[in-house]
Structure 1
């Protein structure tokens, strides 16, 4: 019979697997993560139309090239694209791929504000956040598999509920806060890169104020992968003041 104490031990083990190091666990080889990122990029390119706004693509190219030069990166290794989507969003994928939605281009009105977005995404990739997130997800799945094997099919009443509770604990207790830490680290790296590229870091505050106005109602921060706008703006103010 599986005791309550043993269930608690399994729960704690799953959490420790997903957050075993401050820099994130490394359970999946970087080469495999990069291949996954490139495959995802191809799927996005196939399913989401590229923006036909030539001025937007030219602006993204101008800003991205300037930032990559400041970061000491070869632009030939990177690819970037404006996608036609009204959502104010952007993303970075392992394999040095950056996508910006057309809705984000409307909010980032100046090159310096767009640099806030692109430098943030470059920060994610240079900090290897993609590999960290994949490994954290893999760790959470290991935890669930251990629980499933330990409980055994039909041995305990409420087995499905226990598994669901563990999944909720892993997802909301580790993966999402871990992702928010990634976001804040990318903010710091991005602001430093903006300054190195000759952009005024204070444009980051202008940009995130605009994002706050555009975000409208949000759910609780602990259920979000991104920091709440007020928290993010406060941290960016601290980063800029420390420079």
Structure 2
């Protein structure tokens, strides 16, 4: 038996496996690029490209399922309660301006409006809870927790929060996150193939490093961008509905105090640092004042 022949056989087998592995990685990469570019759309609210592979109807179905699940588990205030009536009234004013704000922002961005709000079946519930929270799901299903009321302190600040949550739905952030997760999964699968010949300890180290890089370099910045977009669109929505946009500053100061300063640094958070968020909102005030003046008989909002 010729040992050199056996070594040659092992070497050629390793080369074949290595070549196949790189072909698989290239296929993953090609499909990821195809997926990314074939699902690009222009967001009329921001003028930015967004990756979305879910229809508005599919989004609404998922939103309705999640909404019904939440309401089945939480105590919902009667619609005749004072808090319910006030919050529903705020929501109605914000909803009525959604297309106007989209038209104005799309024009400024050189984009075509899609009137996304027209496809929504709006509904608002008030949940009895100490949580200072609110959400708006795809399709316009919204909930406000009573714990938010004392933090907001007034209808203008409440409208800023609700406008922010509505903006997430109008900007289709949920679908963008789902599409991004699919792209990340493709990358993880390709990485799994790439490290296939490493020993288990090396595989774990490489995959852990890749996971951390994806988390801090892609997912968290993506979430913070979404928060900043929702801050801007939500503020314009509140201003166009004739709520005082200047209340946003005090609101987010109180929200920061509510957390007691217990939050991770911005790079490790899904949300912007409160100080940076407030600074961003302050830079948006002239634009918000223009929306207020246009839709509120030309009267400037009180400072």
- The TM-score bracket by the shorter chain reads 0.7 to 0.9
2:91 touches 2:159 (CA, 8 Å); kept in 1?
A: yes
Residue of structure 1 aligned with 2:275, choices 226, 230, 240: 230
Q: 2:134 aligns with which of 76, 90, 98?
A: 90
CA shift, 1:74, in A, is 6.2
Note the alpha carbon deviations across 1:124-170, whole angstroms, 9 max, x for none. 11111121111112211221122223433xx2122133223222222
DSSP 3-state at the match of 1:24: strand
Q: Which of 70, 75, 80 lines up with 1:49 in the alignment?
A: 75
1:194 aligns with 2:194: no
Partners of 2:166 and 2:234 within 8 A in 1: yes
Aligned pair partner of 2:259 in 206, 210, 215 = 215
Give 1:59's match in structure 2, choosing from 74, 81, 86: 86
Secondary structure of the equivalent of 1:173?
A: helix
SS in 2 for 1:77: coil
Deviations 1:206-238 (A, max 9, x none): 211111211212111112111111111100000
Bigger radius of gyration among the two? 2
Which structure 2 residue ranges, 5 or more long, are not aligned?
1-13, 41-47, 100-116, 291-303
Distance 2:207 2:280 in 1: 36
CA distance in structure 2 between the aligned counterparts of 1:105 and 1:75, rounded to whole angstroms = 29
Residue 69 of structure 1 contacts residue 75 of structure 1 at CA under 8 Å; is this kept in 2? no
> TM-score under structure 1 normalisation?
0.84
SS in 1 for 2:250: helix
Greater RCO, 1 or 2 (C-alpha within 8 Å, sep 6+): 1
Quote the offset at 1:23 in angstroms. Answer: 3.2
Say yes or no: does 1:167 pair with 2:193: no
Aligned-pair Cα RMSD in Å: 2.9
Q: Say if 2:121 and 2:141, in contact at 8 Å, map to a contact too.
A: no
| Correspondence for 2:148 | 104
Normalised TM-score (structure 2):
0.69
Q: Which moved more, 1:223-232 or 1:87-96?
A: 87-96
Task: Give the whole-Å Cα distance in 2 for the aligned partners of 1:151 and 1:24.
Answer: 31
Map of 2:10 onto structure 1:
none
